[in-house]
Every structure is written in structure tokens, then in C-alpha cells.
Amino acid sequence: MTGAHAPLTLAGVTAAPGTTMSGTLDVPARPGDSGTSIPFSILHGASAGPVLALVAGVHGMEYVPIVALQRLRSSIDPASLRGTILMVHCANMPSFLGRTIYYSPVDSKNLNRVFPGRSDGTLSERIADVITREIVGRATHLVDLHGGDGNESLRPYAYWITTGDPKVAAESRNLALAFGLDHIVVDDERPKDAAASMYLSNTAITRGKPAITTETGCLAQTDERSITLLDQGIAGVLRHLGMRAVGPPALTSPTWLKRNSVIRAGATGLFYATVERRDHVAAGARLGRITDFHGQTIEEVLAPFAGEIMYVVDTPPISKGEPVAMVSAT
Ligand SMILES: [Zn+2]
């Protein structure tokens, strides 16, 4: 980076070098909904460097990232930072305040399937559009912070997206290693079309910006262990990018998960898991069963291959086509 380090302005809020400023991005109302707002902070370092976007709350019941960023905002001193952190504290306010898993209570869409969004679309599509333009547009690197949703029991892991520009993929791999979660899902199936990027991290990648998705915490809990894991992950990324001198070292030999299967319900009813996160299962092992609303078993859910349970639904409601578990193997 060369030249003078200018102030950074977002949504009318200007952060001078070495300061932290906060504000909200507005998603204006349109016929059909009343709009929403997206709280953000700019931690603008004293000197120029990478612009790292940290996004929490794309899924509003994934609380660990949301709570972690609340604390991290005041614990990072911008005067000792090189570059800039753009924090999105809660991307999906309707889902957060409405306490919904997966889908917005306003338009029933999954925000992490509608990127890059549309300026004239439904509320989730407009949130995606604002984040794409205002956050991804300003960032050089991005971490999309997720966890098991309110219904999911999940072990921590990260996604490394391999599709697209090999240089971007190589640096995304470095981000995954720097974040430090020792199980990394290798995802080679994401769309390469920037106009149909679907996922937030893929929206950054298809625009030439290295990115990862991380998963810490689950079941609507805010446990300290998961928050610490996430704090350590961000500290590792800041060190890797040269934004701070201190931080944990990158992983050298994580478990790369190249075979991954999201198992979906074949029926609607009640799901009873018979495995737990981190369990290792054999091919064909029973993961759980689905009953109808009178208690009769209507489906046995089986493992498609031998692997580890990354997450499993741990609450009864299940609808046909929804995920019940993810099994991964090396
Ligand atoms: Zn999520």
C-alpha cells in the first residue's frame, strides 16, 4: 500500500486513521416491507493495509459471532492496527429480532442464498445488495462468521472455497489456515458467476477478494468456549494479514474434508437424532429417524459414507428437503 492513508467513509460515517466509528447502513422500505438497518463499525488503522470485512448474523440465530463482535469492537485498538476492519455486527436484523433459523421472517428467504442481491428485490435480496456494494465493495478480504443455527448441533469448522481464480483460492486457503479451526471443508462446487454468487463469501471470491466462511457455536447458545475460538480465529487472520504483530500461528496440518454430504429430509415431521456432532459413523449407519405427527417412523436417515458428523439437527421440527445432518470425510 502506498500514498496517504485517507479517512474511510461508510453510510455517512467517517473514520479518521487510528479511530473506531460506528453507524448503520439503511435498507430503505419498499412496497411489502418496512426495510431494515445493518449496524457496522469501522476500525480504521493508523496506517494503510488490508481492509478485512468481518460479517456476523447473516443467519440471525447464529449468536456466537454476533456476541463476539460486540466485544471485539472495543478490544481492538485502531491506533495499533495496520489496515482496516469493517465489522458488520448483525447482517440480518429481521431474522435476529424475529428469532428465526435459516429464513427471514419477512420474505422467507435464506440471506446466504440470495447474494449478490437486488436493489429492487425482497428485503433479504436488498440486504444482500447493500452488503455486496458497501461492505464487499470496500473489502480486500472477508470472513463470513456463521455457526450451527438455532436447531443445529455443530462441531467447529471452516469452509475453503476452491473455485474461481487460483490466486484468490490460494489466499483463501491461507485465511482458513490462519483462522485456525482444525477441520476445513474443501468446497469445490460454488458458482463461479459473480452475478449469481449465492453465498456471501463466494460473492467476495467471485469479485477477486479472498474469503472464508467459519462455523463456531450452535443451538442458539453463546458459550464462552465458542466465543474464544472465534476471537482466536480473528486474531490469527489479523496476524496473517500483517494487520497486527501478535496472534496465534496458522495451522500447518488441519483435517481437510474433501468428501462432504448434506443429508436432507425425505419427509416432514419430527426428527430424532441418534448421533451427536463429532461422532464418527460407518457407511449406512443410522443418523436419526423421522416420525409423522402421530409418532410413527416414516424415514430412517442413513449415513451415505463413513465420516464425521459436522452438524446434526437437534430439535424436532423437520420439513421435507431441509438438512438433517452433514457428514464429512478426508
Ligand atoms: Zn449460517
pLDDT digits (tens, 9 = 90+) for 289-323: 999 999 999 999 999 999 999 999 999 999 999 99
Confidence class of residue 4 from pLDDT cuts 50, 70 and 90? Answer: low
Distance in Å, CA 145 to ligand 1 centroid: 8
**What pLDDT band is residue 86 in, cutting at 50, 70 and 90?**
very high
Rounded to the nearest whole angstrom, what is the distance from the C-alpha of residue 112 to the centroid of ligand 1? 7
Pick the range with the lowest mean pLDDT from 8-12, 20-24, 191-195.
191-195
* DSSP3 helix / strand / coil % (the chain, rounded to 5): 25, 35, 40
- Give the mean pLDDT of 7-23: 97
User: How far is ligand 1, taken at its centre, from the CA of residue 204, in Å?
Assistant: 17
- Ligand 1 mean position, distance from CA 146 (Å): 4
DSSP symbol at 242: T
Radius of gyration of the chain (CA): 20
Q: Is 111 exposed, middle or buried (0-12, 13-18, 19+ CB in 10 A)?
A: buried
On the question of pLDDT at 108 being above 90, the answer is: yes
Ligand 1 center from residue 144 Cα (angstroms):
9
In Å, how far from its chain's centre is CA 280?
Answer: 25
Average pLDDT over residues 83-105: 98
> Mean per-residue pLDDT for 160-185?
97
Distance 62 CA to ligand 1 centre (A): 6
The stretch 79-91 carries a mean pLDDT of 97
**Distance of CA 3 from the midpoint of ligand 1 (Å):** 38
pLDDT of residue 189: 87
In this structure, the strands spanning 141-146 and 211-215 are parallel
Residue 304 backbone dihedrals phi, psi, to 5 degrees? -75, -25
How far apart, in whole angstroms, are the C-alpha atoms of residue 322 and residue 3?
51
HEC secondary structure over 42-102 = EEECCEEEEEEEEEECCCCCCHHHHHHHHHHHHHCCHHHCEEEEEEECCCCHHHHHHCCCC
Residue 217 Rama label (left phi>0; alpha psi -120 to 50; beta): left
Q: How many CB atoms lie within 10 A of CB 31?
A: 4
Stretch 35-39: mean pLDDT: 98
- Ligand 1: distance of its center to the CA of 215 in Å? 8
Say whether 194 sits in a helix, a strand or coil. Answer: helix
Average pLDDT, the chain: 97
Contacts of 239 (CB under 8 A, 6+ apart): 178, 245, 246, 247, 248, 249
The rounded Å distance from CA 147 to ligand 1 centre is 6
